[in-house]
Each structure stands twice: as structure tokens, then as C-alpha cells.
Amino acid sequence: MSVDQHINEVAVDRREETVVTQQPGYAATEQVTRDVAAERRLRLYQVTRIVWSILGFLEILLGLRFMLKLIAANPDSGFGAFMYGITGLFVAPFAGLTPTWVSGETVLEVTTLIAMAVWALFFWGVVRVIRIVMDRPSARTVTRSVREQTSDTGTERTTHTTRSG
């Protein structure tokens, strides 16, 4: 059995490979085209999904903090102490920025709302920078063509598979 392999670099982000397999009475040619830029964009998509998920989780925590303060939840309870402890790190840079309105035990903590907006803008900026650095336009297509020949029966079969995504 002999196998010849030829790899052609059509463009920087596209690679073609041709594999020829020959045996007595049988020959098969397989051509594979791979779009490397599309694979890079798929990784970029995964990274941005992770970043947005982290932001979503942070926004939920900050929203819970805001609601707990608003309904005058006991800060000494286990859940209250846990929530204020975790979110305190993300609200700390904005402490003292605006006055906090207190009515009885209810607290309207505007700094938490500001923190939510600023963190959302920060994460948006991070995603934009990641996209600018990593994204390169190109279509994602992988094409595989296999041509098989059998000399004893004289039959030839060609199979084409194209995957986009």
C-alpha cells in the first residue's frame, strides 16, 4: 500500500491536504480543506461566552446585594454576611461616591447600581479588545472529497462532505 500526501497552503487561514491511497485494484483520493481562521473564531466565541457568563454571575450577585440592602436584610445572618462579603470587593472602589439613602432600616445603596453599570462597561470593553486582537474574517468550511476506484470491477465512487459552522 502506498500513500502520497500533499499539503497546499492556499492562504494563511486556509489549508488544503490531498491524500492518495493506492493498493492493487484500488485507489482513493481524499482532499481536505480546513479554515483555520474559523476555528480561531470558534475559540474566540467560547472565550467571550465565558467572559459574559462571569459578568452575568457578578451582576446577579450585585443585584442580590442591592435587594438585600433595600429590604433591610439582617447583615449578621449567614447568607447576608456571605453576600456582603463577596460583593464588597466589587463595590469597594465606588464606596463614598454618592450618599446612601437610609429610611429606617431600609438602605438605597446607589453605589451598588453604579458598580453594576461600571462592571458591565468594563467587561464589554474586555470583550471588544479580545475580539479586535483575535478575530480575523474568513468563512468556516471544511470540505472532504474522497474518490475511490476499483480496477477489478471498474467502479468509481466519489463522496463529498462539506461542514460549515
3-state secondary structure string across 80-138: HHHHHHHHHHHHHHHCCCCCCEEECCEEECHHHHHHHHHHHHHHHHHHHHHHHHHCCCC
Determine contact, residues 18/30, Cβ cutoff 8 Å: yes
- The whole-number pLDDT of residue 151 equals 66
H/E element, 87: helix 78-91
- Position 93 pLDDT exceeds 70: yes
Query: What is the value of pTM for the model shown?
Result: 0.64
Percent of the chain exceeding pLDDT 70 equals: 74
- The whole-number pLDDT of residue 87 equals 97
Number of domains composing the chain: 1
- The whole-number pLDDT of residue 41 equals 81
Confidence grade of residue 37 (pLDDT, cut at 50, 70, 90): confident
* Chain segment 102-138, per-residue pLDDT in tens: 888 889 999 999 999 999 999 999 999 998 888 765 5
* 3-state DSSP percent of the chain in helix, strand and coil, to 5: 45, 35, 20
| Domain interval for residue 43 | 2-164
- The whole-number pLDDT of residue 164 equals 60
Q: How many CB atoms lie within 10 A of CB 40?
A: 16
